[in-house]
């Protein structure tokens, strides 16, 4: 999957997105709306820390207008949930059902958010290929974004890093893409790590690359991996050679790369460095990354962050108008553009430790804070949406240290990092406090999250469960497991159902799947009901707990023109459970359940009923059980726009 998205994304480089550069909506609105979107903020934790007096701005807002749980999407994954909010529809209307969809003709996982088409016409000159026509990245979310509707009514909006908007949909409004935006490899994360310790070399490490280096006479020669060069017929990587000089006495090293020359002390970050990855004579790709000198001696260890798309010279579309990203860069210097900004896999793989990861994630927070300030300073009309990522990323990585029952709990680490999540909520409270002070009385302030959070104790291998229940068959019945992605060992002529994606189950249906065997209509419907019932009956033999709290039939929970593209069953896990890491990509491991010992320890793949997000407002919320799509309707209502027909929500300020 990594290779697929990576290679393809850069094929789009021949063309720059042609967004209009005209100014955005000019209407001065009587009311303004400020929305702070804190990814993954959980109502229970928010309530607890509000009651303990730790979230004073939240508490004041709750007293003013109310604090509610906000019904999330089915499933409560960020791309799905934010798409509900963006479009005011459910997944049947916007077509995003999971992080991962599947190609029914290949039984293979594909990213749901964006697709890249390679150039349809190229010219070849020797070993060089020039794209002439085609080649573009496409946002796969359907329906209109709320800021597009506002634009039609000439109401200005600034939308900062809202997830599920990569590439940003065409608009004259100011938008910057967020979650879903790749690094320059087209991946969600690609850190690089250079070490002299052979024991640390691992071939296949998720989210990055580890490379052995040698110190020869105080000097290290290394190569920084660059993106695939699609201008060359053999598609090599556009790597950059660089050199490190290790100080013979002090824990210090000098790094020389392109026109940069800088000295780092041990445990020091370099700040952003801009690099140009050479493609052909007239073409290169600009990327930005940070260097971190983890150790000089006895082992030399250097970490290089994922190479982010350069906001000053974006190789892929990240903003509307493109000049918006350039303008922010001129004001603040380079900044994180990658959708999941911090490198969580680097922490998960012990490349960065907890403190180092937090240092990196703190850069994200500081950058965002400055940009929020900047936007508040010119917020004189319309809507401002601002996104906070740390609430989600840190709950994923630090849940294990706030919860003694977690298989990855570590008492020693918990002493230092057990309060990271609490501190992160307090930081969000600080952002809100700051924002409230800067807006006038006429501004409607909304704080929302897309879903809540819960522990991830045990991983469920859906495909293994399907195999044990006779719905999925391997070609070799005696084989204990099939660990390659994309079901290479599956016998499709005897398989009735399979799982792809974090919550998705598909029937192997005739004339839809390549080798489908189940007749559509009544036969498929009967099978869906049967499997859903059995899934809900299944208990964890170790704990006796129900694993799948709700197995939703897509037809029961989705409406809209794209319902047919949904998984046939969407799994809503019980508290503590989630799909395993392998099954969503089409692996069939030996055991149905496995303990999660990974640092990725909190999650939100459960039943929507148990993972609501939050909603707070400075104006009285009248809805008892508001949902994400109701917020979209609320925006229309506040600006006096007649609600577009396809929107399913109702303003939260109406009874």
Name the nearest CA neighbour of 15 among 140, 128, 119, 114: 119
Q: Which of residues 336-395 bind Zn ion (CB under 5 A)?
A: 392
Residue nearest to Zn ion (CB): 392
Residue 144 or 578: which CB sits closer to Zn ion? 578
Q: Which of residues 494-513 bind Zn ion (CB under 5 A)?
A: none
Residue 392 or 427: which CB sits closer to Zn ion? 392
**CB 82 to Zn ion: min, Å:** 11
Size of the site for Zn ion (CB under 5 A): 1
Half-sphere exposure of 199 (CA within 13 A, CB side): 2
Residue 81 or 220: which CB sits closer to Zn ion? 81
Name the nearest CA neighbour of 193 among 294, 336, 261, 285: 294
Name the nearest CA neighbour of 115 among 103, 124, 107, 129: 103
**CB 270 to Zn ion: min, Å:** 28
Question: For Zn ion, what does the binding mask look like between residues 604 and 623, x meaning CB under 5 A?
Answer: --------------------
**CB 598 to Zn ion: min, Å:** 14
Residue 392 or 482: which CB sits closer to Zn ion? 392
Name beta bridge partners: 289. 273
**CB 181 to Zn ion: min, Å:** 15
Question: In this structure, are residues 602 and 570 in contact, taking their beta carbons and an 8 Å threshold?
Answer: no
Torsional class of 186: left (φ above 0), alpha (ψ -120 to 50), beta (otherwise) = left
**CB 338 to Zn ion: min, Å:** 15
Residue 72 or 349: which CB sits closer to Zn ion? 72
Residue 194 or 365: which CB sits closer to Zn ion? 365
**CB 393 to Zn ion: min, Å:** 7
What tokens appear for 137 in the block?
């990245």
Residue 367 or 392: which CB sits closer to Zn ion? 392
Element (H, E) at 638: helix 628-638
**CB 208 to Zn ion: min, Å:** 19
Question: In this structure, are residues 407 and 595 in contact, taking their beta carbons and an 8 Å threshold?
Answer: yes
Residue 174 or 396: which CB sits closer to Zn ion? 396
- Residue 91: helix, strand or coil by DSSP? helix
**CB 580 to Zn ion: min, Å:** 17
In sequence order, what E strands does 189-327 have? 191-195, 208-212, 219-224, 240-246, 252-257, 260-265, 268-280, 283-295, 301-304, 308-309, 319-320
Residue 91 or 452: which CB sits closer to Zn ion? 452
Question: For Zn ion, what does the binding mask look like between residues 385 and 424, x meaning CB under 5 A?
Answer: -------x--------------------------------
**CB 203 to Zn ion: min, Å:** 28
Q: Report residue 247: phi and psi, to 5°.
A: -65, 130
What dihedral do alpha carbons 458, 464, 469, 471 form, nearest 10°? 130
Give yes or no for residue 189 binding Zn ion (CB under 5 A): no
Instruction: Please enumerate in sequence order all residues whose Cβ is within 8 A of that of 394, keeping only pairs 6 or more positions apart, or say none.
Output: 358, 361, 420, 421, 424
Applying CB under 5 A, which residues contact Zn ion? 392
């Amino acid at each position: 999957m990594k290779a697929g998205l990576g290679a393809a994304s850069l094929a789009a480089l021949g063309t720059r997105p042609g967004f209009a550069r005209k100014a955005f909506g000019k209407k001065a609105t009587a009311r303004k709306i400020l929305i702070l979107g804190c990814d993954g903020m959980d109502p229970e934790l928010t309530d607890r820390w509000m009651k303990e007096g730790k979230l004073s701005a939240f508490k004041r807002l709750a007293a003013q207008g109310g604090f509610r749980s906000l019904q999330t999407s089915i499933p409560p994954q960020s791309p799905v949930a934010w798409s509900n909010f963006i479009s005011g529809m459910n997944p049947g209307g916007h077509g995003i059902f999971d992080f991962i969809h599947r190609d029914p003709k290949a039984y293979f996982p594909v990213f749901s958010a964006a697709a890249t088409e390679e150039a349809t016409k190229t010219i070849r000159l020797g070993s060089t290929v020039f794209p002439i026509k085609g080649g573009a990245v496409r946002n796969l979310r359907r329906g209109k974004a709320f800021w597009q509707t506002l634009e039609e009514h000439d109401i200005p909006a600034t939308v900062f890093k809202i997830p599920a908007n990569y590439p940003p949909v065409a608009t004259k409004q100011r938008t910057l893409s967020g979650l879903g935006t790749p690094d320059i490899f087209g991946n969600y994360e690609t850190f690089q790590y250079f070490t002299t310790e052979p024991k640390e070399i691992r071939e296949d490490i998720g989210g990055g690359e580890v490379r052995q280096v040698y110190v020869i006479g105080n000097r290290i020669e290394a190569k920084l991996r660059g993106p695939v060069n699609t201008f060359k017929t053999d598609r090599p990587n556009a790597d950059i050679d660089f050199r490190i000089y290790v100080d013979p006495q002090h824990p210090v090293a000098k790094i020389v790369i392109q026109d940069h020359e800088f000295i780092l002390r041990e445990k020091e970050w370099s700040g952003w460095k801009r690099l140009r990855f050479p493609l052909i004579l007239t073409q290169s790709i600009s990327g930005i990354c940070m260097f971190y000198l983890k150790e000089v001696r006895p082992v030399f260890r250097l970490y290089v962050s994922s190479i982010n798309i350069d906001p000053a010279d974006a190789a892929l579309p990240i903003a509307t108008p493109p000049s918006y990203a350039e303008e922010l860069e001129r004001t603040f210097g380079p900044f994180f553009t990658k959708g999941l900004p911090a490198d969580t896999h680097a922490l998960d793989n012990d490349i960065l430790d907890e403190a180092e990861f937090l240092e990196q994630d703190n850069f994200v927070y500081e950058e965002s804070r400055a940009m929020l300030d900047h936007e508040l300073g010119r917020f004189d009309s319309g809507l401002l949406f601002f996104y906070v990522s740390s609430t989600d990323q840190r709950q994923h990585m630090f849940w294990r240290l706030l919860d003694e029952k977690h298989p990855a709990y570590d008492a020693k680490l918990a002493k230092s990092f057990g309060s990271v999540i609490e501190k992160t909520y307090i930081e969000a409270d600080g952002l809100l406090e700051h924002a409230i002070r800067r807006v006038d009385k006429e501004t409607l302030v909304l704080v929302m999250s897309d879903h809540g959070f819960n522990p991830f104790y045990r991983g469920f291998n859906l495909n293994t469960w399907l195999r044990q229940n006779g719905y999925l068959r391997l070609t070799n019945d005696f084989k204990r497991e099939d660990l390659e992605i994309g079901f290479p060992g599956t016998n499709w002529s005897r398989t009735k159902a399979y799982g792809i994606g974090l919550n998705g189950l598909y029937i192997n249906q005739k004339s839809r799947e390549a080798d489908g065997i189940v007749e559509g209509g009544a036969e498929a419907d009967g099978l869906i009901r049967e499997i859903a019932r059995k899934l809900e009956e299944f208990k964890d033999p170790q704990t006796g707990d129900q694993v799948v709290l709700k197995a939703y039939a897509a037809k029961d929970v989705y409406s809209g023109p794209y319902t047919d593209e949904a998984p046939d069953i969407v799994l809503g896990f019980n508290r503590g459970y989630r799909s395993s890491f392998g099954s969503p990509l089409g692996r069939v491991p030996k055991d149905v359940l496995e303990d999660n010992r990974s640092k990725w320890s909190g999650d939100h793949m459960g039943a929507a009923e148990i993972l609501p997000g939050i909603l707070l407002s400075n104006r009285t919320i009248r809805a008892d059980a508001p949902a994400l799509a109701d917020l979209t309707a609320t925006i229309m209502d506040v600006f006096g726009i007649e609600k577009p027909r396809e929107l399913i929500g109702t303003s939260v300020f109406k009874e």
